[in-house]
Amino acid sequence: AQTVTQSQPEMSVQEAETVTLSCTYDTSESDYYLFWYKQPPSRQMILVIRQEAYKQQNATENRFSVNFQKAAKSFSLKISDSQLGDAAMYFCAYRGGANSKLTFGKGITLSVRP
Amino acid sequence: DVKVTQSSRYLVKRTGEKVFLECVQDMDHENMFWYRQDPGLGLRLIYFSYDVKMKEKGDIPEGYSVSREKKERFSLILESASTNQTSMYLCASSPATRTFYGYTFGSGTRLTVV
């Protein structure tokens, strides 16, 4: 079974600084998707970024980018120029090839210091 | 915009009660999912459905059942609520397309069983 590991339960970053959230996963598949979701205090889960495993290029969405290391099974999220609105819980998630189910990590709580 | 609506934001029920959590999506998605979210455990899949009247067990189905009589509605049923079912419940949906873009989530139901 696939597993997703987020080993850090909490992180803190100074406003305008850069922070990296780590995620590792375990799979025997070669075709899969990886995601980062954000859950602010409102509880609404928001898709931050998505990566297809066959694409070597790291995905980028404005201030959010990933470092996808397929051989190491690592998928970290970098948030540049952190803003107060980035404070939330962040979940890393995996989906195998033909499967529609997402497997989530335990999440990390990010706080942003003004 | 795709919308996934969960009928209750907060719910308090007594031990032994039969509880219905309702989820409705308005974008004709084939796939629907129920997760529960607990601190330190992340999101865990309870049940999912790929089509009307179809259902499959997720990772933690014990104590739960589901119903999908119409494509847009996916109900989670707690046959006899227990205190260990106090949790946040998240509904999600996704289309059955070849390329997977992730889930759209509802805003969650926080259930307290007393």
A42 or B74: which leads in pLDDT: B74
Q: Looking at residue B1, what is its pLDDT?
A: 65
CA dihedral for A31, A22, A71, A55, sign (positive or negative): positive
Instruction: List pLDDT tens digits, range B27-46.
Output: 899 999 999 999 999 999 99
Q: Does A71 touch chain B (CB under 8 A)?
A: no
Alpha-helical (H) ranges within A1-114 are none
Among B6-10, B19-23, B26-30, top mean pLDDT goes to B19-23
Given an 8 Å threshold on Cβ–Cβ distance, is A104 in contact with B58?
Answer: no
Q: Which of B42, B96, B107 sits opposite A104 (nearest CB)?
A: B42
Looking at beta carbons, which residues of chain A come within 8 Å of B98?
Answer: none
The answer, yes or no, to whether residue B26 has pLDDT greater than 80, is yes
Given an 8 Å threshold on Cβ–Cβ distance, is B58 in contact with A101?
Answer: yes
Counted residue by residue, chain B has a size of 114
Of all residues in chain A, the percent with pLDDT exceeding 90 is 83
Q: Looking at residue B102, what is its pLDDT?
A: 86
pLDDT bucket at A14, cuts 50 / 70 / 90:
very high
